[in-house]
Amino acid sequence: MLERKQRHKDVQGGRRRSTSWTVAGLIGTAASAATTPAWAQSVALYGLVDTMVRYSSNNRGDKGLAELGEGYFSGSRWGMRGNEALGGGWNALFNLESGYDLATGVSAQGTATANYAQTGTGGAGRLFGRQAYVGLQHNTTGTLTFGRQFTTAYDATFRFQPYGHPNLEAVAILNGYTGPRQDNMAKYTGNWGGVSAAAHYSFGEVPGNPSASSSRGVALAYADQRIDVGTFLQRTNALTTDEARTIWGAGGSYQAGRVKLAAGYLDNRFHLSPTHNHVFTGGISVQAARALTVSLASHYDRQTSASGHRLMVAAVAEYALSRRTGVYAETDFNRVSGAYALPAFMGVRGSKFGGGVGLRHRF
């Protein structure tokens, strides 16, 4: 009888010890989970639609043209971006962004022939022509990405103009020199407080000639609540010749209450051709009311050797209907003279006037 009671006590004690170990194990597991990095991924769908009803003079045959065209501010696009926390301050990220012509639904960013770090598409639009990259990011070290991306010079010159890079061809000039995007690019960006740096290299992918159609660039910037200034240097090689384009520049913007001032300089020269361009850009934007912003911008491009000039002046007023939707009106003027290459948007050398009303929406 005593032996049976003792065995019963031993069983109860074993159960108590087993339960204690189980509780301790659960607590230990929970504590371990609390200190283990969380693996979380987020993917977002986004986009922007911008279009304008516009009339302009001096088109093909020096004729006037009324059209439903591209937006003044932005190219229409949709995209997907994602981020996954890997732990230890590391993240994996990607971005796939498609541009399109809103009036026709046709994909944009096509390239007629391969050259200057661009792969040819025969003029056909690209599925993800605006951006397509994947990479790794560290909280302190910076970000390294691979794919079709914006050049460091394009990113740097964004601050040279009151609204960044305008989309309308008649008022854009800097992105014609910087090359907005390049294919086969490895790109680094880092930010430490107000100081940021960037560098890129685009692979030409020509067997036996690694420099052909390759590109490299560096940029340095500083920004705080009022000042945003930067400088850059970029060189891009031609595909089938020894020609190369080197650009450098400096500029920035200053925010004083409701007023923003912007100015910049870009220098463009070729390795073989004697053509040399000095591009000056600047402007001002004013938040005239809570929902109304007006701006004035100008570019002046002085070309030497093949001497010529291009002058552009544009004014725009935008009224925000909400945080995502705005309407605007714009007017612009261009004048080309001398041996300056005739822009594709002009019919004949001389002056061109344009203007229109537009609508843009973000989602």
Q: Write the secondary structure of the chain as one string of H (helix), E (strand) and C (coil).
A: CHHHHHHHHHHHHHHHHHHHHHHHHHHHHHHHHHHCCCCEEEEEEEEEEEEEEEEECCCCCCCCEEEEEECCCCCCEEEEEEEEEEECCEEEEEEEEEEECCCCCCECCCCCCCECCECCCCCCCCCCCCEEEEEEEECCCEEEEEEEEECHHHHHHHHHCECECCCCCCCCCHHHHHCCEEEEEEEEEEEECCEEEEEEEECCCCCCCCCCCCEEEEEEEEECCCEEEEEEEEEEECCCCCCEEEEEEEEEEEEECCEEEEEEEEEEEECCCCCEEEEEEEEEEEECCCCEEEEEEEEEEEEECCCEEEEEEEEEEEEECCCCEEEEEEEEEEEEEECCCCCCCCCCCEEEEEEEEEEEEEC
The pLDDT tens digits of the residues spanning 318-361 come to 999 999 999 999 999 999 999 999 999 999 999 999 999 999 99
User: How crowded is residue 331: how many other Cβ atoms within 10 Å of its Cβ?
Assistant: 13
pLDDT band at 24 (very low <50, low <70, confident <90, very high): very low
Enter the tokens of residue 117: 């770090």
Q: Can you tell me the mean pLDDT for 48-56?
A: 98
pLDDT in tens, 125-145: 999 999 999 999 999 999 999
pLDDT at 22 over 60: no
Domain boundaries, the chain: 1-30, 48-362
- pTM for the full predicted model: 0.87
> Has residue 216 got a pLDDT over 50?
yes
Q: Which residues contact 300 (CB under 8 A, 6 or more apart)?
A: 279, 280, 281, 309, 310, 311, 312
pLDDT at 26: 34
Tokens 């032996």: give the residue: 3
Query: Using CA of residue 162, residue 74, residue 79, residue 184, what is the dihedral sign?
Result: negative
If you average pLDDT over every residue of the chain, what do you get?
Answer: 91
Give the list of residues 6+ apart from residue 26 with CB closer than 8 angstroms, or none.
none
Q: What is the pLDDT of residue 39?
A: 61
Average pLDDT, integer, range 247-269: 98
Identify the architecture of domain 48-362 in CATH: Beta Barrel (2.40)
Integer Cα distance of 333 and 345 in angstroms:
12
pLDDT of 28 > 60? The answer is: no
Structure tokens at 232: 């850059």
Residue 11 pLDDT: 39
Percent pLDDT > 90 in the chain is 88
Structure confidence at residue 14 as a pLDDT band (50, 70, 90): very low
d(CA 240, CA 272): 13
